[in-house]
Amino acid sequence: MATNLDPHHLVALMCYTFKGTQDGSPRRVDPSLHSLQGGIVDHHETNVRTFPILDALAHISVSRKESQVVAIGLQLNSQKQEIRLTVAENQSVTHGLVNHLTKIWRKLQVLSVEYKKNRGGRWDKSELRSPQMPKKYSVKKQMKRIDKWSTRLRRFMKEVLKRRVFLYLQGFELSLYKAVVALLLAIEVVSKLHDNPKNKLMESEWELVYSQSILANKHVKIVLADRKEFGCEILAQELADHLSQDPFQLRRALEKLTSLSRHIETLFGFAHSPHLRPALQYHLFTSTVPKMVHTVKLPPSPQKWKSFLEVACDKHYDFQETQAVELAESFGSRKWVCPVHCECGLIQYLYTKQRNKWDRVPPFSYIGVSKLSCSACRIWIETFNEQSEWRFYTRCSHGKWYWPWGIPRTEGPLVGVMARKVLDEYLAHLDSHKLLRSNSDSSGASSDGASHGLSDDEEKDAEAVGAAIVQDRGGGGLGFFDDK
């Protein structure tokens, strides 16, 4: 029976089928459609503002350039004024990550007290205005984004200025110009850490990075929202037509280059929020999810894959011959060590009794993740929610399939239900491509969270600094955007 198929085999099949492309699944969770349990306060809209905070904590917990994804769960005991963050990775969680997360939380507690004292006031001009946070932990990941996108963004902006009169930039294009200038100024300073992360920046340099990054965030939000979120694509296509080349991925470049600063700004907003402040007054506990893997042996030969496909489709089709050969060539006959992805492992850990006091504290329904869930995780979480009295959500899925992938538990009714769901999506894909015919017949950004930006004076200062540097490099913008 098809329902007895191993979900690991089906996930491998889907990975082969889509080959790294998106499957069209929804990318965002709609908070209005879900009830939330275990939140900071008994208020739905306020708890929704916790979503980006948990995502931000997960995001800034990533330190490696490659192959690191972090998930964070929250439990809050208001009677004892205790809070626990549970951390999971696709691999083992390091002590360094836990220590980093603890330092971040303590700094947020300090900032919360400072903000409460000065609520409605301004920063003391005699003090640095950049909130002090652990700065270097996520630099490696950020430098990878800079290496990939900054030069191309610089060249794109220069092409924009060639086709526009600089003094007459307005609206969307003026916001884009201001965003790129601020971004590149921050990048120039941070790039000093590129070749030697042991280098130290002066506090005044960190302050410049902070002010320009926050300024860039403000203008990037305007740019990304322009013309019902199609402004970036329209401008990129216009320039592509002029240059006879593929459109520059402007939206993705801006999102990637501002991702770290956006998440840090979200955490500052968390510390500044009077509604969310109670969480920062509680004593923090942390726990980690042990690494979980399964050893999986896929069908070892074309004949075995062909039999698997016939059972999956409940019928023989001609295309199965070719697919079976390609599947056998792609996956071979070896055994696969399949890690359980962090969000699924975290949910299974929270659901399983650990024989400690936190077993009696319901976890918050939202799981913070540093990266959107893959399609296999999306389906597993959907299935878990249907089979359990608990409900969990992430920012949803990026719509891609990955292999190797491991299911948290290999027994119980959830396994068969998930297999059926994956199989249904595979059959729907085949049907959309008209492959299920007989031979005779003629397929986010979560809520913004609490806001925290520059004051009007700070914003003017940051723009003045940027304008002066641009003027020193030739004025009008063109010289500033030359390749370095």
- List the pLDDT tens digit at each of the 484 positions of the chain: 455 899 999 999 999 999 878 887 766 666 656 666 666 665 667 677 788 899 999 999 998 888 899 999 999 998 999 999 999 999 899 999 999 999 999 999 988 888 888 765 554 444 444 555 555 677 788 888 999 999 999 999 999 998 887 677 889 999 999 999 999 999 998 888 776 767 788 888 888 988 999 999 999 999 999 998 899 999 999 999 888 889 999 999 999 999 999 998 899 888 888 888 888 989 999 999 999 999 999 999 999 999 999 999 999 999 999 999 999 999 998 899 999 999 999 999 999 999 999 999 999 999 999 999 999 999 999 999 999 988 999 988 889 999 999 999 888 899 999 999 999 999 999 999 888 865 444 334 444 555 567 878 888 888 888 888 888 877 666 677 777 6
Query: 15-48 b/e with 16+ CB inside 10 Å = b?
Result: bbbbeeeebebeeebebeebebebbbbeeeeebb
Distance between CA atoms of residues 452 and 105, nearest Å: 17
pLDDT score recorded for residue 63: 87
- Nearest partner of 146 among 68, 51, 260, 57, judged by Cα: 260
C-alpha–C-alpha distance, residues 448 and 452, integer Å: 10
pLDDT score recorded for residue 191: 85
Q: Which pLDDT value is given to residue 32?
A: 59
The CA distances from residue 207 to 203, 348, 395, in Å, are 6, 42, 31
At residue 128, the pLDDT reads 42
Interhelix angle 302-313/319-331, rounded to 10 degrees, is 130
Please give the pLDDT value at position 36. 66
CB atoms inside a 10 Å sphere around CB 300: 14
Q: What global pTM score does this model have?
A: 0.85
| Contacts (Cβ under 8 Å, ≥6 apart) of 417 | 383, 386, 387
Burial of 356 (0-12, 13-18, 19+ CB in 10 A): exposed
CA distances from 331 to 3, 299, 305, 336, 374 (A): 22, 9, 11, 9, 20
Q: Tell me how far apart the alpha carbons of residues 269 and 262 are, in angstroms, rounded to a whole number.
A: 10
CA atoms in the 13 A half-sphere facing the CB of 279? 28
State the Cα–Cα distance between residues 229 and 239, nearest whole angstrom.
18
Report whether 249 contacts 43 (CB < 8 A).
no
pLDDT of 169 reads 84
Tokens coding 448: 């913004």
What pLDDT does 6 receive?
94
Q: What is the pLDDT of residue 148?
A: 93
The CA distance from 236 to 41, in Å, is: 43
Residues near 144 by Cβ (< 8 Å), separated by ≥ 6? 65, 66
Cα 232 from Cα 224, distance rounded (Å): 7
Tokens 């984004």 belong to residue: 145
The pLDDT value recorded for residue 235 is 94
Side-chain half-sphere exposure of 226, counting CA atoms within 13 A: 19
Strand partners for 75: 84, 363
